[in-house]
Structure 1
Amino acid sequence: MDAVAQRVVIVNGRLFLPGTPAVARAEDEPTAVVVEDGTIAAVTSDAEARRLRHPRAEVIDAAGGLVLPGFDDAHLHVIPGGQWSGMLTLGDAATLPEMQARVAEYAAAHPEAPWIIGGGWHHAAWGDGRPAKEQLDLVVPSRPAMMICMDGHSYWVNSAALRAAGIDRDTPDPANGVIVRDPDGGEPTGWLKEKAGQLVYRVMPEPDRQDLKIALLRAVRALNAAGFTAVQDARTDPGEVPVWREVLAEGLLTLRSRIALPMAPEQSLAEWRATLDAHEELVAPLRGGDRLTGGILKGFVDGVIESRTAAMLAPYEGEEGRGAPAFEPEQLTAFTAEAHRRGWQVQLHAIGDRAVRMALDAFEAAGRDHRRRRHRVEHIEVIHPDDVRRFAELDVVASMQPSHAFSAPGRAHHWHGLIGADRAALNWPMSAIHRAGGVVALGSDWPVVDHDPFLTLHCAISADHALTLPQALAAYGQGSAYAAHAERRRGRLAVGMDADLVVLDRDLLETGEVLGAGVVATIVDGTVVHRAA
């Protein structure tokens, strides 16, 4: 990028600086940012910024809108997000008939599609019922169809999909997966949980490299337009890494990106060591990269509460089951310790209170230099009170997605009913972890939930254990940067920091109006990568 492209001056803004309160701007606050050669050269007054600016610098009038570090989504799935754009979505369908109508309409509009694939449904849409193949057979009788749950942990398939995958009454449950069966005859019902979905995925048409590249570029454009300057991809298939590198080499990766490789339980410790060898070779060229880095692993400790696969310390309400963890505790500790010893950061999906405790136990057992690794727990939908303080004690990042709690009609009621009022009282414990001194990083989990940063912020300040708006903004910038070992380069408006900025169309701190806010400009490395029309 040439030097001219990296000269920008932002004036007439409300700057989000450390300690900025949620009130109207004070007269003596700085209002301008001067950018030179990809870094912040000055945080100052409009008059001084105009004096300092280069004659050919681009000037952006913020018109009183908030200017802050670019949003950094600490947990999302970039290529899947790009793939889902324009596909069949069921997220706002509140009932089974609504979902069936939408599937039927999509199938009729795509007669050439060999498979009908969609997603975004939520368990609450069934009321007291459950996903069943007959429900999909009514609207897609001949072609295989699979509808993925909004959380990505359950799958609703029709009879044709079961036949294509060879799933019948004699098919055993795969490791860490459940084929839900009719209690009378043992026939698969059309509801697959966790790794059972892979039985269908393996017979579905796979996207080629060009398809993946198109999805990645589509996602990058959408994220830039929403104000994102950095993302942390929560699970990157090793086969996708060359696609990321190709987009980077072509100069099209206008997001600072960190990709996490998988840590799967279906292997021995010796096999895990061999997997780590392969992972290290794959991402070695990315270490220390400016736009694309690795160095982090993603593992699943449990599933989700809605399908009763989240690992809980006590049984689900009205049941004996507690949800089985994907890892045995000893295996999780051994895998984490091996990764820790080799210098990897580990992020662990843990939704149930037992899974959260297992993750923290594994990190504590891994070694004493926690601050160097900054291991992470993802989601943390419910936690035992005794474990709240451990995030700060172990320097473990709480990577949280508050919009999960508001992601579908009726979800909160359904979720609370499965675990009871006592455990539900400490749901999405953002403020509790923050008060105890822990670092909270915010993300969306796109495409599970929309990547809209204003939705995430709104949910973060509206939840039962809410952050204040300044705390939420800091968690979406500085907190996420800390989670990525990048807090010395981004996440704050300060001289010498990377010029990764977003200009909003309003001052959120003064108005308190978060939902519906817009992005005026997104700047990455001092270059404007998005301007509002």
Structure 2
Amino acid sequence: MKKLLPILLCPIVWLLILQCTTNKEVDLIVYNANIYTVDSSFSQVQAFAVKNGVFVDIGTTQEIRDKYIAKEEFDAEGKPIYPGFYDAHAHFFMLAELLEQVDLNGTRSLGEVIEKLKAYQKAYPDKKWITGGGWDQNLWEDKTFPTKDSLDKYFPETAIFLSRVDYHAALVNSKALEIAHVDSAHVVEGGLIAADSIGMPTGLLIDNAMQLVSQHIPDPEERPLLLGLRRAQDSLFSVGLTSIVDAGLTLEQLEYLKKFYQQDSLKIRDYAMIAGNPNSIEKYIKEGFYESDRLSIRSVKLMADGALGSRGACLLDHYHDAPTRGFLLHSPQEFDQVIKKLANSDFQVNTHAIGDSANRLMLDTYGKYLKNGKKRRWRIEHAQVIAPADFSKFAQFHIIPSVQPSHATSDMYWAEERLGPTRIKGAYAYKELLKQYGKLALGSDFPVEHFNPLYGFHAAVARVDKTGFPNGGFQTENAITREDALRGMTIWAAFASFQEKKRGSIERGKDADFVVLDNDIMTAELPDLRLIKTLRTVIGGETVFHR
């Protein structure tokens, strides 16, 4: 029996050894890295372990490699690693559409626009509609708004719809107006049909007037739509984005997203806002929240006004360069009613507000109905022009400023012309907004701006464009620190979407979303920030992009 005992014990001993090894088995170990965890103390570590799509441990390279056995190991060779980048305000469907349309970003004249349209028509001669986006008359020598005359000359039988860079104005031709039965410059609530000297449409449509024509553009079919979203997703992965806020989707678009995510056809994490208006909000409230691993629908986006570049932003006083104050897209009474309804629901409210009048109205209306602002986390999207007396309301009512730093460096060439030397001081005031609320949710507003989050990071901390203009920076008193900028595109963006316990930092138990860059954005020279490349993007422990 004594000789038999060791033989009997051997399987037990081996079983204990195997159990011990199994307990320490993980899917991935990343080591020899410079990891910015973006936790509460902004700590840096060398390594972490991932299992079942979450971070299970972090520490030194020796600690993690001694403690765990992994199916896959990744030696970062000293490269910097950050939580997956989170774009707090974006337009996924619009980016997918633009990738299939005529991209007019950076065009320097209407003539260049025409040439791009002619090239597109040559490539796709059977298309009955040509759509595009990205033109900005502020970049042209002639800064007046274009008209349909040139479009009519070259495209008499093809309908043309060209969104301005801010997507708050569009240039259309006579064929598009004919299809939409728009034959006069009549009044449109919350919009404008620009007219010539005899009252006929010039082809320029602003804000709500755009819908008169856009509703006639054929919707993409399901498969091309999915392929377009995948193509857009690949572009986002290539710059380190793992999560986005989809700022305003129709019910049809939301249903497509639900279907695509249920089929595992999309991987990027999407916090989708319902595009709401005062007339349809009841329908959204009844449907309630939708939550899955990659898709969340629990907020409503309202539109208070238009954009500064197209003079649709609603200002307290006249534009400095035009006898107009812009306009609201709905009446104050309508906004009051819808905010009251939403305050009695569980939905988060996020409102596009550009002008100081629109911001004041929405801040005051939020404050009127919010009973627990800190818990509700309602947001102002853009918060672009704020009157001095209104900054404190972000703190008073616990309203999150959701801003896009690239807007400051895109608009700075002409913003003072619109606002004047005094009012411009309350525009793009990110440091002051941070001081008030204590957090900023940072996004890009793509495709209005480029989707690369490092462009926004650069704009936030340097306040210059890609060429380094202006020397010394634009209103640098409102630049923010690199640490705050990184928090804004990770943990604070997650907080603004009720997701800070799941993602936004590299901590035990959180989703293993992270990005590896070829240079450290926390220490690189300012001119080099926009040149830094993404080496690897990982979502839930799965590599979705690598260079």
1:501 aligns with 2:517: no
| 1:175 counterpart residue number | 189
Match of 1:25 in 2: none
- Structure 1 residue 200 corresponds to structure 2 residue 213: yes
Q: Residue 239 of structure 1 corresponds to which residue in structure 2?
A: 252
d(CA) in 1 for partners of 2:277, 2:77: 49
Could you tell me whether the CA contact under 8 Å between 2:193 and 2:204 is conserved in 1? yes
Give the distance between the partners of 1:5 and 1:478, measured in 2 at CA. 28
What is the CA RMSD across the aligned residues, in angstroms? Answer: 2.3
> Counterparts of 1:21 and 1:101 in 2: how far apart (Å)?
54
SS of residue in 2 equivalent to 1:347: strand
Secondary structure in structure 2 of the residue aligned to 1:346: strand
Distance 1:5 1:88 in 2: 50
1:148, 1:154 within 8 Å by CA — same for their partners in 2? yes
Which amino acid in the other structure matches residue 168 of structure 2? Answer: H
Give 2:248's aligned amino acid. Answer: R
Which residues of structure 1 form unaligned runs of 5+?
23-27
Aligned partner (choices 65, 68, 79) of residue 79 of structure 2: 65
Whether 2:137 is the aligned partner of 1:123: answer: yes
Describe the SS at the equivalent of 2:45. coil
Give the match's secondary structure for 1:234: strand
TM-score, with normalisation over the residues of structure 1?
0.90
SS in structure 2 opposite 1:486?
coil
Q: Distance in 2 between matches of 1:503 and 1:39?
A: 17
Among 235, 238, 243, the alignment partner of 1:225 is 238
Instruction: Give the aligned partner of residue 267 of structure 2.
Output: 254
Residue in structure 2 matched with residue 9 of structure 1 by the alignment: 29
Give the distance between the partners of 1:485 and 1:430, measured in 2 at CA.
22
Equivalent-residue separation in structure 1 for 2:334 and 2:40 (angstroms): 45
Contact 1:145 1:160 in 2 (8 A): yes
Equivalent-residue separation in structure 1 for 2:136 and 2:235 (angstroms)? 24
Amino acid at match of 1:412: M
- Taking the aligned partners of 1:279 and 1:214, their CA distance within structure 2 comes to 28
CA distance in 1, matches of 2:232, 2:203: 31
Post-superposition shift, 1:283?
5.0
C-alpha displacement at 1:19, in angstroms? 8.0
Aligned to 2:470: none
Rounded Cα–Cα distance in structure 1 between residues aligned with 2:287 and 2:354: 29
Partner of 1:93 in structure 2?
107
Residues 322 and 401 (structure 1), Cα distance of their counterparts in 2 relative to 1, 3 Å cut: same
- The answer to whether residue 488 in structure 2 is matched with residue 475 in structure 1 is yes
* DSSP 3-state at the match of 2:545: strand
Quote the Cα distance in structure 1 between the aligned partners of 2:39 and 2:214.
48
Once the two structures are superposed, residues 200-221 of structure 1 have per-residue CA deviations (whole angstroms, 9 ceiling, x without a partner) of 1122222122232222222222
For residue 446 of structure 2, what is the aligned residue in structure 1? 446
Return the index of the structure with the highest Cα Rg: 2
What pairs up with 1:285-434 in 2 under 5 angstroms? 286-287=290-291, 289-407=292-410, 411-434=411-434
Instruction: Compute the displacement of 1:9 (Å).
Output: 1.6
Q: CA deviation at 1:78?
A: 0.9
Pairwise mapping of residues 23-42 of structure 1 onto structure 2 (< 5 A)? 29-42=44-57
Deviation at 1:108? Answer: 2.3
Q: Shift in Å at residue 29 of structure 1?
A: 4.9
Offset, 1:105: 2.0
- For 1:6 and 1:377, the matched residues in 2 are separated by 41
Q: Aligned residue for 1:151?
A: 166
Output the CA distance in 2 between the equivalents of 1:60 and 1:153.
Answer: 45
The alpha-carbon distance between structure 1 residues 405 and 139, as it changes in their structure 2 partners (threshold 3 A), is: farther
Partner of 2:20: none
- Does structure 2 conserve the Cα–Cα contact (< 8 Å) formed by 1:8 and 1:60? yes
Q: Secondary structure of 1:515's partner?
A: helix
Q: Map Cα deviations across residues 79-101 of structure 1 (whole Å, 9 max, x no partner).
A: 22112114211111122222222
Shift of 1:437: 3.6
> Structure 2: which 5+ residue stretches go unaligned?
1-22, 464-474
Once the two structures are TM-superposed, the CA of residue 318 in structure 1 deviates from its matched residue by 4.4
Secondary structure at the aligned position of 1:185 is classed as coil
Q: CA deviation at 1:368?
A: 1.8
Report deviation, 1:484.
Answer: 0.3
Deviations 1:34-89 (A, max 9, x none): 11222212221111222233241x22222322211101111111122112114211
Q: Find the partner of 2:504 among 491, 502, 510.
A: 491
Greater relative CO (CA pairs within 8 A, separation 6+):
1
SS in 2 for 1:60: strand
Distance 1:156 1:490, change over 3 A: same
What letter corresponds to residue 331 of structure 1 in structure 2? E
Name the CA distance, whole Å, in 2 between partners of 1:254 and 1:334: 37
Tell me the residue number matched to 1:279.
284
Call closer, same or farther: CA 1:238–1:20 in 2, change over 3 Å: closer
Q: Cα distance 1:19–1:374, how it changes in 2: closer, same or farther (>3 A)?
A: closer
- Partner Cα distance (1:420, 1:111) in 2: 46
- Aligned mates of 1:93, 1:416 — CA distance in 2: 22
Structure 2 CA distance for aligned equivalents of residues 20 and 521 of structure 1: 25
Distance 2:321 2:100 in 1: 40
How far the C-alpha of 1:18 sits from its partner, in A, is 4.1
Q: Report the Cα offset of residue 378 of structure 1.
A: 0.5
1:14-45 deviation digits (Å, cap 9, x = unpaired):
221348999xxxxx952112112222122211
- Greater displacement, 475-484 / 205-214: 205-214
